[in-house]
Structure 1
Amino acid sequence: MGRHSAVKSGEPRFLEGARVLVTRSPDRAAPLVAALREAGAEPFLLPLIDFERARDQHSLEVALDGLRAGAYGWLVVSSITTVRALKEKAAERRLELKDLIPDSVRIATIGPSSRRVLEAEGIPVDLAPEDIQSAAGLVAVWPAGPVNVLLPQADIADAELAAGIEAMGAVVQAVTAYHTVDYPASPGQRLTAALAAANGWQPGNGSGAPELTPAAAKSELSSGRLHAVVAASPSAARRIHNSLAPLKDCRFIAIGRSTAAEAAALGIPVAAIAKEPTPAGIVTALRTVFDTEGNES
């Protein structure tokens, strides 16, 4: 079904007929797949990215020893994958995740999904941006003053967050908590810790959406049978470009400004940027694109 025949806004299944490609692994795609189906879309998976344990376990262990000993005033958790990596380290010590973090340590995060998962793990969040849910948004609300900050993050994390917090007077210890790799990760190195249930969804249950190979996704795209593709990170944008470009009439939906900027640098037109890095935010971005096209047709 062509998306120019989009269902008018106000009807409950406003993405009826939309075939949406989600570039996440099955165990991480469930909430978005459910939200897309509820809106009437038909989701497909093309797993492009996976996550492995940090190569340098010693540096991560030393940082976590410092955290438990009270060496840091703040812990910045920038993604759900960071939570998973820290929970695996806690389990190795036969601890709950919250037992790694002294009561004196304040917690900051970027997006509502990370916040919900942390709170489901029994860890209250002290600081998170409301308007711009990104590294820049967190820097904008960061309190000025000297403080020691632990920032566990991906190996390919941008330096913007650490530099911005340091500019506010903090001393930031950035440490690699996990590596971003092509899907699938090595079975012996893949992050597998199950996270606490948040909003009724238990991470790791799988999505149930059909999983495509890159070749199958390319064929669907070339035939005009995919209407949108969702990318959650700059690395996902790069892999989409390498595997699927040109996207033709398939709309690129970016989660976050950094993802949109990377796509634009690669020559991929960005149809919409999700204002919130959540399933609801992504569905809203899709609705905006298709409602606009429906009104123009």
Structure 2
Amino acid sequence: MGRHSAVKSGEARALEGARVLVTRSPDRAAPLVNALRGAGAEPLLLPLIDFERARDQHSLEVALDALRAGAYGWLVVSSITTVRALKEKAAERRLDLRGIIPESVRVATIGPSSRRVLEAEGIPVDLAPDDVQSAAGLVSVWPAGPASVFLPQADIADDVLAAGIEAKGAVVQAVTAYHTVDYPAVAERRLTATLAAANGWQPGDGSGAPQLTPEAARAELARGRLHAVVAASPSAARRIQASLAPLEDCRFIAIGRSTAAEAAALGLPVAATAKEPTPAGIVAALRTVFATEGNES
């Protein structure tokens, strides 16, 4: 059954009947699930990625001690998962995030979701890109000159952010804060810290969306019953390619240019890239794709 038979044309109603695969774990999927439902789509979960605590806890502890002592002028937060990892470390010390991030430290982030979560946790954000919300976008607005920077990040993070900031004159201490793994993570190593509610981001359990296995998702693809899949990172794109390709008529929606570039390198056609890495931005990208197709049919 084709996608056009299920979805009505017109941007306002473009997602009615669309079945959208969300490749996040249930506890991280609620914001997008709720936004999709609000737009008339039917979200389904296919968790592909999960997150575990850093294997090298000593290096992270040393860096956090230096952060508390004022050794860094800047803290760069590149994802919501980084906030979760830092909050978990703070909780181990019976502190909140404000207890490990001195007021003297300036905070930078790459996207609105991370900014909203940080601010909900009581951490003001001093620098974030307005246009290109990515590592490259943050580098483009980074002030030139000497600076000491703490960059906690994923084990699979590339060097775009660290190298770009260093090229502006800063000294960057990059430390692995968490590991990206196939879902599900090992229970005793899984990041479990709950983040404060923020506008556009709410912790939750996937809001009851049906959860598929890769086998079930492939069967739905073969029957033409999946109309879009959303990937939030290059690692998600790699796992989608490994688990689901070919995607048949299912549209690949990327959150961020790096995700779109990885998908293209893997041979996955990218139907749209969300202009903002938020639930609203993803819904807008989906609406644009399906409204255009509906008008052409």
Q: TM-score, normalised by structure 1?
A: 0.97
Structure-to-structure mapping, 1:24-173, within 5 angstroms: 24-173=24-173
Contact 1:74-1:148 within 8 A present in 2 as well: yes
Please, which moves more after superposition, 206-215 or 182-191? 206-215
The one-letter code sitting in structure 1 at the alignment partner of 2:207 is S
Contact 1:75-1:107 within 8 A present in 2 as well: yes
- Tell me the residue number matched to 1:9: 10
Deviations 1:258-292 (A, max 9, x none): 11111111111000000100000000110111011
Write the distance in 1 (CA, Å) between the matches of 2:91 and 2:206. 22
Measured after TM superposition, the shift of residue 201 of structure 1 is 5.2
CA RMSD of aligned residues (A): 1.2
Please, which moves more after superposition, 191-200 or 233-242? 191-200
Write the distance in 1 (CA, Å) between the matches of 2:285 and 2:200. 23
Write the distance in 1 (CA, Å) between the matches of 2:23 and 2:208. 14
In the alignment, structure 1 segments of 5+ residues that lack a partner are none
Quick one: structure 1 residues 116 and 240, their matched pair in 2 at CA, closer, same or farther if it must change by over 3 Å? same
Structure-to-structure mapping, 1:246-285, within 5 angstroms: 246-285=246-285
Write the distance in 2 (CA, Å) between the matches of 1:3 and 1:202. 30
- Tell me the residue number matched to 1:222: 222
Q: Which runs of 4+ in 1 moved over 6 A?
A: none
The one-letter code sitting in structure 2 at the alignment partner of 1:287 is R
Deviations 1:96-121 (A, max 9, x none): 11110111100000111100000000
SS at match of 1:59: helix
Question: Percent of aligned pairs with the same residue?
Answer: 85
Contact 2:146-2:169 within 8 A present in 1 as well: yes
The one-letter code sitting in structure 1 at the alignment partner of 2:159 is A
The one-letter code sitting in structure 1 at the alignment partner of 2:256 is G
Write the distance in 2 (CA, Å) between the matches of 1:281 and 1:201. 13
Measured after TM superposition, the shift of residue 204 of structure 1 is 3.6
Deviations 1:63-99 (A, max 9, x none): 0000000000000000000000000000000111111
The one-letter code sitting in structure 2 at the alignment partner of 1:150 is F
In the alignment, structure 2 segments of 5+ residues that lack a partner are none
Write the distance in 1 (CA, Å) between the matches of 2:14 and 2:97. 40
SS at match of 1:253: strand
- Tell me the residue number matched to 1:245: 245
Structure-to-structure mapping, 1:142-221, within 5 angstroms: 142-199=142-199, 202-221=202-221
SS at match of 2:103: coil
Deviations 1:22-71 (A, max 9, x none): 00000000000000001000000000000000000000000000000000
Write the distance in 1 (CA, Å) between the matches of 2:249 and 2:200. 35
Write the distance in 2 (CA, Å) between the matches of 1:204 and 1:225. 26
The one-letter code sitting in structure 2 at the alignment partner of 1:65 is D
Write the distance in 1 (CA, Å) between the matches of 2:23 and 2:206. 14
SS at match of 2:271: strand
- Tell me the residue number matched to 1:233: 233
Contact 2:51-2:190 within 8 A present in 1 as well: yes
Contact 2:11-2:291 within 8 A present in 1 as well: no
The one-letter code sitting in structure 1 at the alignment partner of 2:227 is H
Write the distance in 1 (CA, Å) between the matches of 2:108 and 2:74. 7
- Tell me the residue number matched to 1:22: 22
Write the distance in 2 (CA, Å) between the matches of 1:123 and 1:44. 33
